[in-house]
Amino acid sequence: MDRLRFVVRWVWLVSGCLLALVTVPVGSATAGEVGSTHLLRALVVQPDPDGGVRATATLLFPGGPAVLQSILSEYRNWPELFETRMRVAQVEEQDGRVLTDIYISHALLPGEQRLLCESQALPGGGLITHLKGGDFTRYHREWRLQPAGDGTQTRAEFDLLVEVKTLVPDWLVAVAMERELNTHFRLVRERALDRITKER
């Protein structure tokens, strides 16, 4: 029975790897414009020496920092900002900290993966999120926001570190993450544009 489970798991893993390689383009995004998102510093996604995958980028979004802050702080709407299927099971706010209990369904991972995190707004603008529990080994995300231009844009420093309990190699997770983050940035930008338009 143990041998059968081992074989099934590896068949699943190989199938997932092949699917990811077919559907996800390889190559780092360069500085400039990628889709509808402006990158001031290239999106770099690569395996972290201590395990997991790290992603960094500097982006320019429409709207002032308050617009981006409001979008990032709408915790129950987080699934709308990602192409990966996820559901928010619970959001609990206390003393300026917000606990989010999220279940993620990903093509590279079996079933749903639980991500229990705590988020806190940064004094200068932005949001920091770190792991509290679930199926991840490491998770740390930072959005640092500053006004840009005449204050009608936002310069955003993005830093993400993720390590999930899986047999999938980090390099493959990095390939998938790069594609998903580019989509994430585009969706955030679209939400910001929509909010600005409605406020006029």
- Please compute the mean of the pLDDT values over residues 138-161 and round it to a whole number: 95
Q: Give the pLDDT score at 30.
A: 46
- Please compute the mean of the pLDDT values over residues 109-118 and round it to a whole number: 92
How is 109-150 classified by DSSP, letter by letter? SSSEEEEEEEEEE-TTSEEEEEEEEESEEEEEEEEEEEEETT
Structural domains of the chain, count: 1
Q: Give the pLDDT score at 135.
A: 94
Q: Is 34 helix (H, G, I), strand (E, B) or coil?
A: strand
Q: Is 60 helix (H, G, I), strand (E, B) or coil?
A: strand
142-155: string of b/e by CB count within 10 Å (b at 16+)? bbbbeebeeeebbb
How is 68-99 classified by DSSP, letter by letter? HHHHHT-GGGGGGG-SSEEEEEEEEEETTEEE
Q: Give the pLDDT score at 13.
A: 42
CATH of the domain at 191: 3.30.530.20
How is 161-178 classified by DSSP, letter by letter? EEEESSSS-HHHHHHHHH
Q: State how far the Cα of 155 lies from the Cα of 38, in Å rounded to an integer.
A: 10
Pick the range with the lowest mean pLDDT from 12-21, 34-43, 96-105, 178-187: 12-21
Cα dist from 151 to 46, 129, 188, 189, whole Å: 32, 25, 18, 16
Residue range(s) defining the domain that contains residue 10: 2-199
Structure confidence by residue, pLDDT tens digits, 158-187? 999 999 888 889 999 999 999 999 999 999
For residue 153, the surrounding DSSP H or E stretch is strand 153-164
Structure confidence by residue, pLDDT tens digits, 132-145? 999 999 999 999 99
